[in-house]
Copies of this chain bind each other. A is one copy, B any other.
């Protein structure tokens, strides 16, 4: 059985199920329009820890435990973990997940990591390499600002094109155990570089990669945008969304009527002062789990294309005058 479809996609003959998922977020996300949907909202963004990095590790720890618990499983039932985060050397993942003693594939795909983790996890289960895996990721506003821009204590100002890194972690148990949603296919993205050099305008940096993988996916699977109830990008925000629609239109696809973006949905940008929208690995991970996946599970939606988007930015490359290339990975999720 060959699962290869088109240039960049796979279609799974035995599509793995999303057995369960969990989301944990910070205070600001809890105050946003989706606030009531998350499994846990912390009232202290340090989550009882001394540092922002340990706080982010705690998010991963809790999300893993909740997702595994909801599936009626124990950590030792999970054969592989696919996880990563935004921090240098992905320390939120290392320190967050080591206690569970589950074999780990560490990932780095910037904010596209949830798509990468779901893709590899689905490949693994569909091939019979595991009965259950966990795919997950996290981000934290304060650890990300410190890593990529300025420590919060500097109180620097932010342009309106800047996005706001979501404090949160989302975890997914994938397996053969029947549930109401399954991953039927994936399209793996390439790095796309449009020469953007503004670290405060990540939406513009990521939109070309999102357009590339969405159009490729539609072409590989022989589908039109209307074949999806929603096409959901990760964290383009309002600036990136416009660019995405334009680029997709240039490729012959009008996605404007079915497109939405987790970064736009998670905050009320005007009330909450979050600029162009939410961002970070955690943004798409928690929004899928809390807001979109339930609509697939209930059958309100039959099929969605979930497309977490990443900006391959580092302070080192940025300070050396390099561009910010983007990458995005698409995951087809269907009602089962």
Query: Residues on A close to B: CB < 8 A?
Result: 1-4, 8, 10, 50-51, 53-54, 79-80, 84, 86-91, 94-95, 97-98, 101-110, 116, 119-120, 123-124, 126-130, 147, 188-193, 312-317, 320, 322, 325, 327
Contacts and interface: CB of A to CB of B under 8 A. Distances in A.
Contact of A193 (B98, B128, B322): B98
Nearest to A54: B320
Contact of A191 (B3, B94, B128, B313): B94
Given A116-B105, A124-B123, A129-B123, A320 B191 contact: no
Given A3-B129, A53-B320, A108-B108, A314 B88 contact: yes
B190 A130 contact: no
Nearest to A213: B103
A109 B106 contact: yes
B89 A314 contact: yes
Candidate in A87, A90, A101 with the most chain B CB atoms within 10 angstroms? A90
Given A103-B188, A190-B101, A320-B51, A89 B4 contact: no
Given A3-B127, A91-B316, 9 more contacts: A4-B128, A88-B315, A89-B312, A91-B322, A95-B317, A105-B120, A106-B116, A123-B127, A127-B129
Contacts of A53: 316-317, 320
A98 B191 contact: yes
Contacts of A316: 53, 87-88, 91, 147
Contacts of A2: 128
9 closest cross-chain pairs (CB), A and B: A88-B88, A127-B127, A98-B191, A89-B314, A103-B188, A94-B312, A108-B108, A106-B108, A91-B317
B106 A314 contact: no
A171 to B, nearest CB: 17
A294 to B, nearest CB: 28
B188 A80 contact: yes
A176 to B, nearest CB: 11
Contacts of A10: 129
A108 B101 CA distance: 18
Given A53-B320, A130-B4, A104 B314 contact: no
B3 A91 contact: no
Contacts of A54: 320
A316 B120 CA distance: 28
Candidate in A3, A54, A89, A91 with the most chain B CB atoms within 10 angstroms? A89
A128 B3 contact: yes
A312 B105 contact: no
B128 A108 contact: no
Given A102-B190, A107-B106, A91 B128 contact: no
B188 A87 contact: no
A107 B107 CA distance: 4
